[in-house]
Structure 1
Amino acid sequence: MGEAGRGNDGGTICVLLSFPFIFSPCLGCQASTPEYAFTVVASITVYGAAWLLLHLQGSPHMGSTQDVYDQLGVQDVPVFRNLSLLVVGIGAVFSLLFHLGTREGRRRQAEEPDERSPLLAPATARPLLLWKHWLREPAFYQVGLLYMSTRLIVNLSQTYMAMYLTYSLNLPKKFIATIPLVMYLSGFLSSFLLKPVNKCIGRNMTYFVGLLVILAFAAWVALADELGVAVYVVAVLLGTGCATILVTSLAMTADLIGPHTHSGAFVYGAMSFSDKVANGLAVMAIQSLHPCS
């Protein structure tokens, strides 16, 4: 009990020290510092490493046992163990390089008021919108429902994609790495088109177009008996549609907050909480209706 208690205390301390940095910009970063590019590189690295490990794990086996090693099973436990160790190791190395090689700039001190500084705020200042005021805004619930629904589509499709590929389509296990990679790349590339599309047709129509793409994916998957090579095409449709509705819903959330950034954390926290609860309930419902054999 004593060892377990000390381990629990250590974990609590680690969470307390690290969790606040999730919602903070990186130390030493400025407004012009690109953050999204290396997120893409990291995700591609994970999918690429998964494909390589699965490919190497199955390559030595030939003959009648090839089909066995093409399917996901208990023999792949070392593969995912090595993948997790590889990802954590690479992350630790680059985190160490970041902390050792990044210099923190000095923060500018706030200007001291002088005799020319106004004593009162200007009359055109916007009213302060506190967290409890959001509960009386209908748009808060509308955007929250939209964001929650978006997260349901994106998260559930990613959660059950591996099961669909291996158990429904009976595809080799390497597809659980290549198909998510195709989805991610297609979503990343389509995100560059969202800004001009938003200017042309607006956010609402952009979101509707993303939904149409996802409906095309769902109809194709539901009606087709076998996909074959077309599995890559439907992966592109799903990745493009999910990226479109996710980015657009985040933009709508930012539009909702607008200038009231002091209470924006409550808005993002409330929507994140609702989508986590909804996803948990959805997974429980799916597992109860279609339990794994």
Structure 2
Amino acid sequence: MEAKNQEDISFNISKKLPLKIYIAYGLGHILNDVCAAMWFSYLLVYFHMVLGFDNGQAGILLLVGQVADAIATPFVGYNSDKDHDWWIYKFGKRKIWYFMGTFLVIFTFPFIFSPCIGCSQSLKIYQMIYYSFFITLFQFGWASVQIAHMSLIPEITSNKHQRTKLASVRNGATVVASVLVYLLAWSILDISGGSKNKVGPDYTEKFQHIVWSVMSFGIVCSIIFYIFIKEPEVRKEGNQEHDSPNLSLSDLFLNINLYLVGAVYMSSRLFINLTQVFISLYLTESLDMNASSIALVPLAMYIASFIASFPVGPITKIAGSKITYILGAILGLLGCLWVNFGQGDDFRTYFIFVVSVLLGSASSIVLITSLDITTVLIGSKTNRGAFIYGIMSFADKLSNGIAVEVIQDIHNDENVEYYRNVLTYVCGGALVLGSLAVLVVNSKKKKKISEYVESTESQTNSITTIS
């Protein structure tokens, strides 16, 4: 027992966490991050333009993944919190889910960006069954890693400043991971194939090179995390229940703000994810740009998103979440409108990057402020905090999957302006919906939500680690 206490000393809240803990924790979600960047940015491009699936079939496969992720998230969260046999506690009730999830991600994701083994000449319906199997397992593994990694923050330390630093390190690692994906995509798709090439069936090996390159880096990061992050022994804090508001399920579901906050969060995620999903198809089909553009433009969006995240906190303190959210929505709407009217060589060469800055900045602002609004509903120590996040996550992932499938299913290949209209009206409409919802939820916040709130700061630190 003494040795165990020595091993876990870095997690004592009265001690300063060593630098290696921050670094190891930040590396722990990189495998998930690189896979997510590939999933949202290149899945539809790969299945439609490389493997030859029609738009509706590619949309169905993305929907399968989003539904699987939506179901897995609350399932993993619920079972991760449950009491388990002694051997699981010895292993670590969070880290056992992390280990299982990492295993599933490693052994399923490469199959998604590879030709159908033994069935590449079969009917598309059989290939869809094949890919759906690997996509479902991958999404379950991804959700397991996500939930386990997030839930370790309060396990590592209960010091709010240390939690903030852990969250910041993870966010920085997410930026590094996503930028790595886009840089590799730009390098492989542009240099190896020629800057004027268009994505087509001969790009199969190029996408496999990208996947294995970024996954190799992610696997090394996961091993470092697993070695250096020691999950503390399970301990109960006697005053925790007394400090936490006891929110019943009936009270929760009768609270109108649950649905209003859900609309804000869901609309924000719709704008962010649909922009990320369809920007590549817009570049290749509507603007007829070369292969390198599907790496450079998303890269510019992500860098702009990262830079824009820094002033959000100070602006929110001065103006409040409502005004800050609407400011971000205005930037996003300007970007959507510019997409609608953007034409010509100058737009494709220069102004598309200005549009990417507007869309990327808006993504960061509306995401951070929507998370702030969500944490007001959750509070820091409610007995339903994880469940409320599960509801938000379920609605977010399911709505995104359905939206992508509907958009892809009604697409007419002859309409080259289709994805321009998607970015303009669907993504812009999501921002309008989120703005309307945020106005209403803020006007009712003091009356409804504050009944269940004790403090929002530490929960914000936990939730903002979720990408």
Shared fold per TM-score greater than 0.5: yes
2:167 corresponds to 1:167: no
Where does residue 249 of structure 1 map in the other structure? 370
The amino acid of 1:97's aligned partner reads I
After TM superposition, the structure 1 stretch with the greater mean CA deviation from structure 2, 82-91 or 257-266, is: 257-266
Partner of 2:402: 281
Query: Which amino acid in the other structure matches residue 95 of structure 1?
Result: S
* Amino acid paired to 1:99: Y
2:183 aligns to what?
Answer: 48
> Residues 94-132 of structure 1, C-alpha deviation per residue, up to 9 Å, x if partnerless?
2223333x1527559667x8xxxx9xx97xx66410233
- Whether the 8 Å contact between 1:129 and 1:260 is mirrored in structure 2 is no
Q: Which runs of 5+ in 1 are unaligned?
A: 60-65
Deviation at 1:219, TM superposition (A): 1.1
CA contact (8 A) 1:27 1:104 kept: no
Q: 1:29–1:35: structure 2 CA closer, same or farther, 3 Å change rule?
A: farther
Q: Which residue is 1:191 aligned to?
A: 309
Q: 2:230 aligns with which of 90, 95, 104?
A: 104
Partner residue of 1:205?
323
1:87 paired with 2:222, answer: no
Q: Give 3-state SS (helix, strand or coil) of 1:274's partner.
A: helix
CA distance in 1, matches of 2:142, 2:281: 35
C-alpha contact (below 8 Å) 1:183/1:239 kept by paired residues: yes
Q: TM-score scaled by structure 2?
A: 0.52
Amino acid at match of 1:24: S
* Structure 1 residue 87: Cα displacement: 1.4
The aligned runs of 1:1-293 (5 Å cut-off) are 15=141, 18-19=144-145, 21-25=148-152, 29-30=156-157, 31=163, 32-33=165-166, 34-59=169-194, 67=196, 70-100=197-227, 102=228, 104=230, 106-107=232-233, 127-226=245-344, 227-228=347-348, 229-292=350-413
The size of the alignment, in residue pairs, is 267
Per-residue CA deviations over 1:67-107 (Å, capped at 9, x if unaligned) read 4xx2111121111111111111111122223333x152755
Q: In the alignment, residue 201 of structure 2 is paired with which amino acid?
A: V
Of the two, which has the highest radius of gyration? 1
User: In the TM superposition, what whole-angstrom CA distance separates every residue of 1:218-256 from its partner, at most 9, and x where no partner exists?
Assistant: 111112222131111000000001111111111100011
Q: SS of 1:276's equivalent?
A: helix
Shift of 1:56: 2.4
- Asked if structure 2 preserves the Cα contact closer than 8 Å seen for 1:131 and 1:266, the reply is no
RMSD in angstroms over aligned alpha carbons? 3.0
**TM-score scaled by length of structure 1:** 0.81
Percent identity at matched positions?
Answer: 33
In structure 1, C-alpha distance between the alignment counterparts of 2:363 and 2:216, rounded to whole Å: 30
